[in-house]
Amino acid sequence: MSDRYLHTELIFNAETVAASANSISSAIDLNKYRPEGYFSLQVTVTGTGTAKIEFQLSNNGADYYEPSGSDDIVTAHTATSGPGADGKDTYRFEPDPARFLKIKVSETAGAAAVVVTATLLVQ
């Protein structure tokens, strides 16, 4: 049973992702949060590239992948995305039940890096 609290964890802190490269967060053990299934990711992007953000799951802590049929968290976040056109936004996502979670950020434009700060919220 969940404790019904909102838990936050800084996933990326001004992480530079080079053009056409990616960065994957450390594993997050969801057992410590006992989530009810509510997830969101607050994102800030700077730089002139384009970020795609997705999640990866694992039950054994060794094999991580985005499950079949899952949607990316966001496919084209830039420094001008978000309601203020300032690279800041929050995205809700719905991963399947799993023990471990990782967040993957890829630069998809292929010409320039992005710098990402992201905070995960779990309830």
User: Which tokens sit at 6?
Assistant: 């909102």
User: Which tokens sit at 73?
Assistant: 């968290």
Average pLDDT over residues 18-30: 96
Distance of CA 66 to the CA centre of its chain: 12
Given a cut of 60, is residue 1 above it in pLDDT? Answer: no
Task: Specify the higher pLDDT residue, 116 or 5.
Answer: 116
Measure the CA–CA gap between 68 and 100, rounded to whole angstroms: 17
**How far lies 19's CA from each of 24, 85, 94, 108, in Å?**
15, 22, 28, 7
Q: List pLDDT tens digits, range 51-90.
A: 999 999 999 999 999 999 999 999 999 999 999 999 999 9
- Residue 52 near residue 121 (C-beta atoms within 8 A): no
Q: Give the model's confidence band at 3: pLDDT under 50 very low, under 70 low, under 90 confident, else very high.
A: low
Strand, helix or coil at 30?
A: helix
Tell me the CB-side half-sphere exposure of residue 56, using CA atoms within 13 A.
16
User: Which tokens sit at 4?
Assistant: 């019904």
Class of domain 7-122: mainly beta
